[in-house]
Amino acid sequence: MTKNKQVNTAQYTVISSLNNYLNYHHLPIKVNEEGICHALSTLYIQYVLEGKEQEFENLLSYVAQKINPSPELDIELFNLVEKIIALQVGDAHSTRNKYSQTNSHEQLHVKGKCLRSIYQIGFKTSRENWADIIKQINLKPNEAMRVSSLKHTIAISRDKDGTYKVYDPNNSAVIKTFTDVNKMTRWLSNDAYNFSIFPFGSKTLDLHIDVISTERQSDRVFPNKKALLDKYLTPAQKILKPNTGGGLNFAMKYDDAETSAYILNNSSYQFTEDELTKIALCALMRDSSNSLEQLILKLKKDNKIDILKPIFLFSFSVGSYRCLQKLLEIPELQNLYKELVSNHQEMLLKRAFEGMNEDLIAKVLNDVLEVNEGDIFNPEFLSELIFISVKERNYQGVKLLAETLNDLDKRIVDPKQRLEFIMKAIKENDPLMVRVLIEKLKMTPNELNCLTISLTMIHRQNVEIFSTLQKNGYQFSPQAIDLIESKQKHSVGFLKSLGIALISFSEFLRLQKKITVDPDKIKKFVDLRRINKEQILDGTYKDESLENNQITP
């Protein structure tokens, strides 16, 4: 966000309001500004390609509290939030699902076809050069560009008249329009990507452009990528540096195999082993398997494949399943994996459960069972795996464990232990985990009624937790039932991916405005304290409540 300019009202309020709305529900995801900007920019692309740009603007105006609430807007906003959550995959959770920020748009559809990347390019060069590149790309009305720096993401579309339309989640206007590309890149430098203290921004832009559409037309011609890299990629951009974008960083971050191969195979620069490890880590953290494959080819050629052994182990902990599949094509790492499955099963399984990727967990579980026939799955170790899943809010881990072993309920029979799982899941505000634990451990009503649940807990946590408990035989008090029904009444929808019911945004706004501060009373209170302090110091202060034998609260 630009430091030197006052970012406003409408769009800044959108991000603030959305974050507050999501945080209000204690959602089991981390909401950050980079992720929200990425998600909103991607959603703008979907709405534009559907011809629903005005609907998108209306929703943002509603979130920014510029237009009055309505049931229709509540439902539309619920759908928007559901998509934001699906797209909200930052670095820490890029592999919880099967998508990363690189390919998250593939979850979205326009007229029955999923969105896909049809061209990408990224490096650091002057804003004039970027203007020339954008002219060469010559964006079509059925396409849009997602444009990212290291810290921020915006979207650019183009109408039939050739006017460029920029959606920047941080900007005061919903859409900025430009007929002159040079003016647009100057604005990008001065406003959208100006993280400096200088009001005029930078003369260079460190960007990655991803052209997104539902399909690439057979006659569609894009700029020659190699020619652009030859012309604009400087030697400094062929090295991976912290907090610096450029060619290699963007290639690994956005899984650009073509640029990765160009830099790794044609660079005169000799990478050190430490640098090669960092390049692999950069790809791993984004599960950029196509870029990692280019690095693997280079390491094979240079006889440095052993560099990848620590990376291989780390891939389990971060859930990088696509990268793991590429790594397992290497014979040396295949042998290492077989040894781990045979002799270090507990360590391997713990790492897999920490990584939260259901495909990776399923693979390790099945491979370990083939060798050990379930001998290691004693109550103590199973409890460790379940607690990891509860802590990471990954109900799929428990579900896979139960479905793979078939008799999870018979392996963990200690009532205290079983109830502790439920209590921790409630504290984590994870309705799906509560539901899966009850189902897979086959918990009885008598068992569940050993729990004591306060009204405060019901008020604070998501209502779906208590609906699930109620359906499974938990006996709530009449006051608790009234509170649960009241919360259900204000729900606008149910997020299937998280098992969480969201209250309507209009109800959320009403609750936010329920407690207010009267500035006049605050001023009187401050003045009274100042007067009392002066009277105490000069000995003239009298406590009237004591003189009248009353104590005021």
Q: What are phi and psi of 29, to 5 degrees?
A: -140, 155
Shared domain for 435 and 541, answered yes or no, is: no
Among 461, 476, 503, the domain boundary falls at 503
Q: Is 237 part of a structural domain of the chain?
A: no
pLDDT at residue 343 in the model: 94
Chain centroid, CA 250 distance in Å? 19
Q: Are 413 and 370 in contact (CB under 8 A)?
A: no
Distance, in Å, from the CA atom of 189 to the CA atom of 127, rounded to the nearest integer, reads 7
Q: Which residues, in sequence order, are bridge partners of residue 503?
A: 491
The helix/strand/coil state of 114 is strand
Shared domain for 449 and 538, answered yes or no, is: no
Distance, in Å, from the CA atom of 422 to the CA atom of 429, rounded to the nearest integer, reads 10
Cα dihedral sign, 193-199-202-203: positive
Q: For the beta carbon of residue 336, count every other beta carbon within 10 angstroms.
A: 17
Shared domain for 459 and 538, answered yes or no, is: no
Q: What is the 3-state secondary structure (H, E, C) of 310-354?
A: HHHHHHHHCCCHHHHHHHCCCHHHHHHHHHHHHHCHHHHHHHHHH
Shared domain for 377 and 493, answered yes or no, is: yes
Shared domain for 431 and 553, answered yes or no, is: no
Shared domain for 439 and 541, answered yes or no, is: no
Shared domain for 403 and 454, answered yes or no, is: yes
Q: Which residues, in sequence order, are bridge partners of residue 158?
A: 164
Distance, in Å, from the CA atom of 425 to the CA atom of 320, rounded to the nearest integer, reads 25
Give me the tens of pLDDT residue by residue for the chain, a chain 553 residues long.
Answer: 444 444 343 456 777 787 788 777 766 555 556 677 888 899 999 999 999 999 988 888 888 777 777 788 888 888 888 787 777 654 444 435 566 767 778 888 898 899 999 999 999 999 999 999 999 999 999 999 999 988 889 999 999 999 999 999 887 677 899 999 999 999 998 877 764 445 555 788 999 999 999 988 888 999 999 999 999 999 889 988 877 777 899 999 999 999 999 999 987 788 999 999 999 999 999 899 999 999 999 999 999 999 999 999 999 999 999 999 999 999 999 999 999 999 999 999 999 999 989 999 999 999 999 998 768 999 999 999 999 999 988 999 999 999 999 899 999 999 999 999 999 999 998 999 999 999 999 999 999 999 999 999 998 898 999 999 999 999 999 999 999 998 888 777 767 667 677 877 777 777 765 544 445 555 555 566 555 555 555 555 554 433 443 333 3
Shared domain for 499 and 523, answered yes or no, is: no
Q: Is 117 part of a structural domain of the chain?
A: no
The helix/strand/coil state of 223 is coil
> Of 254, 319, 314, which Cα lies nearest the Cα of 288?
254
Q: For the beta carbon of residue 225, count every other beta carbon within 10 angstroms.
A: 15
Among 461, 481, 503, the domain boundary falls at 503
pLDDT at residue 529 in the model: 57
* Domain span at 535: 517-553
Q: Is 145 part of a structural domain of the chain?
A: no
Q: Is 294 part of a structural domain of the chain?
A: no
Q: Is 208 part of a structural domain of the chain?
A: no
pLDDT at residue 372 in the model: 83
Q: Is 250 part of a structural domain of the chain?
A: no
pLDDT at residue 6 in the model: 40
Shared domain for 448 and 495, answered yes or no, is: yes
Shared domain for 487 and 533, answered yes or no, is: no
Q: Is 314 part of a structural domain of the chain?
A: no
Give, in degrees to the nearest 5, the angle at Cα 139 between 137 and 142: 140
Q: Is 545 part of a structural domain of the chain?
A: yes
Shared domain for 521 and 497, answered yes or no, is: no
How many domains does the chain divide into? 2
Shared domain for 384 and 491, answered yes or no, is: yes
The single-letter code of the amino acid at 384 is E
